[in-house]
Chain A
């Protein structure tokens, strides 16, 4: 048993059906505080649905999701986010008509306690503004801060997407295929960036690029047909015969 620390995220017998189709078929998983946990699996295994259940986009059919001690299963996304779980999207999901700065600032509004305030100017929140500038610098978009997000290149939009996810003080981060669609150089750069971001936080990541997975993750779970068939260190997963058969197959 893991005695090191309590799980940051704990999933208990999670099920999700869409009509007659059972997409998630009983997942139980503990994600340890401070770990970098990758979820891999073939296309259609239910990885995205799994993330959508955790982040509140869908409500589970049955089962429990605990964030720390709080049961978040079936909660609306904004409530889960306020409890300290933030996610990125596989398909870039940003505010196209707004500037890079505005995008990041919007992601900092709630953590910065601006709330639904309409009696103060947004620029009056100096801490939020300063933090936004720092973060834009960190994701390497300082030169583009005033540009409309819709006009950014694909890689820049990916960086912005992740920047919005890590803005604020979420303890648990979910990255849904953060390097999707990037070329080799970009992937390498981005992996370094993700490693930096993960320090002091709990990260869960769905990723197709095995190099990224094995270089970043300290735990890997393999999801096949809505069930987790193995969880372990990258080395254990590489050796696991069931995994090799079900998934890595020809690649390994």
Chain B
């Protein structure tokens, strides 16, 4: 009970922050960041309806997102041109409908089997749709894409939606409604049976349910909210080309969802936040951001399969089990090792990138708030030294002995 209350408080806090931040600071960057975050959260949550809830690994979720994007772009243009008397606020419904329609058609063939078959079909669908979209530049606009103008006369609230903060409000409301709906759906009988299909589809068949229908309905739900997310994207950027259907978009949502943690209902929210933060901020700082992005993804897969949310959710339990003193000691032992490793690694990566990518390698490189010369061996030695220090600290920390306990215990018994 106390846990759900604290969760609720946390949610309210985050919500009020999301509402107030753009009003307090007049930063366009912040507003745009939060708008994109809302879009990404909706998209990632819809993806997790497949991956986390139903156990369907899709490489082509962007298809339904893209469907929503283009449906919304044309809808907005139609409203602006006076052909349609729909208030702009309801455009996301059109996107959702487009996503649903596409999922209902493509889902029929996609969800016959789970596992590798489903993954491969989703990949094929994505390629197929992207290629098809490229062939029809009259509809999808080819390279330069399709654009629209969201400043239309027909709105419900009377807002013009020209300013970023206004469109942010609209996107936020729809994102919140979507997230709430998806959480609700995950708790319905269908949502629970989807979990069962994820764990053991064969057994589900012997409990009176057809796994195919469960997968299909979940696929439609995922498609619907992906389409809705796509329409929010269209409202925000007012332009898109056929690339949105492509693998880049699909991979992005997969990574965001997985980073956040697929076993948690709200895990994708955390993942979307981190991915967007990296995409927008890291990209401004370093050319090697994709490298770090991939590295983080790998680290999560290898060391924290329950994602960032899993790490966060596991912290209070670990504190309680081992006591704060022991946790602090471990942090003190492992902290410097990880930190020096990170510093050394980042230095090496940046130096290498600078040497191979800049016109003149002897140009100063901005590294940890200082200008350094990448052709100077001293800075390389420093980087290698940090790495070596990290390795030494890791070795010492392991010998200090908390981690290999499990392995060590039976061996001692054998020897004695």
What residues make up the interface of A, taking CB atoms closer than 8 Å to B?
55-56, 76-78, 81-82, 86-87, 89, 93-98, 102, 105-107, 109-111, 114-123, 125, 164, 168
Contact = CB atoms under 8 A, between A and B. Distances in A.
Contacts of A76: 205, 210
Given A121-B188, A122-B188, A93 B198 contact: no
B206 interface: yes
B366 to A, nearest CB: 47
A174 to B, nearest CB: 10
B189 A117 contact: yes
Interface of B: 184-185, 187-193, 195-196, 198-200, 202-210, 213-214, 217, 221, 263
A93 B205 CA distance: 12
A248 to B, nearest CB: 32
Contacts of B210: 76, 78
A78 B188 contact: no
Given A93-B200, A94-B203, A96-B199, A118 B191 contact: yes
B195 A122 contact: no
B207 A106 contact: yes
Given A110-B207, A118-B221, A97 B195 contact: yes
Contact of A122 (B187, B200, B206): B187
A86 B190 CA distance: 21
B200 A121 contact: no
A18 B414 CA distance: 48
Contacts of A122: 187-189, 191-192
A217 B214 CA distance: 38
Contacts of B217: 116, 118
Contacts of B209: 78, 109-110, 116
Given A102-B192, A118-B191, 14 more contacts: A76-B205, A77-B205, A95-B199, A97-B195, A98-B199, A106-B196, A106-B207, A114-B189, A115-B189, A116-B189, A116-B209, A116-B217, A119-B188, A121-B187
B213 A107 contact: no
Contacts of A115: 189
Contacts of A97: 195, 198-199, 263
Nearest to A85: B206
A125 B189 contact: yes
B189 A109 contact: yes
B342 to A, nearest CB: 33
A45 to B, nearest CB: 23
B241 to A, nearest CB: 34
Contacts of A106: 192-193, 196, 204, 207
Which of A78, A89, A106, A110 has its CB near the most chain B CB atoms (within 10 A)?
A106
Nearest to B217: A116
Contacts of B203: 89, 93-95, 164
B314 to A, nearest CB: 15
Nearest to A88: B206
Contacts, number: 95
A78 B185 contact: no
A75 to B, nearest CB: 11
A126 to B, nearest CB: 13
Nearest to B213: A116
A95 B195 contact: yes
Given A98-B196, A98-B199, A81 B191 contact: no
B350 to A, nearest CB: 41
9 closest A-B pairs by CB: A110-B208, A114-B189, A95-B199, A118-B190, A77-B205, A118-B188, A81-B208, A106-B196, A117-B189
Which of B191, B195, B198, B199 has its CB near the most chain A CB atoms (within 10 A)?
B199
A122 B208 CA distance: 17
Contacts of B204: 78, 106
A119 B190 CA distance: 9
Contact of A118 (B189, B196, B206, B263): B189
Which of B190, B199, B207 has its CB near the most chain A CB atoms (within 10 A)?
B207
A169 to B, nearest CB: 11
A120 B199 contact: no
B192 A78 contact: no
B257 to A, nearest CB: 17
A102 B188 contact: no
B261 to A, nearest CB: 14
Contact of A109 (B199, B207, B213, B263): B207
8 contacts: A98-B199, A102-B192, A110-B209, A116-B193, A118-B191, A118-B217, A122-B187, A122-B189
A120 B189 contact: yes
Contact of A116 (B196, B199, B214, B263): B214
Nearest to B192: A122
A118 B185 contact: yes
B263 to A, nearest CB: 8
Contacts of A121: 184, 187-188
Contact of B207 (A117, A118, A125, A164): A164
A164 B200 CA distance: 13
Contacts of A94: 200, 203
A111 B208 contact: yes
Contacts of A77: 205-206
Nearest to B218: A118
Nearest to B263: A97
A110 B198 CA distance: 18
A96 B210 CA distance: 19
Given A94-B200, A95-B200, A97-B195, A87 B206 contact: yes
Contact of A96 (B193, B200, B208): B200
A92 to B, nearest CB: 10
Nearest to A86: B206
A106 B263 CA distance: 19
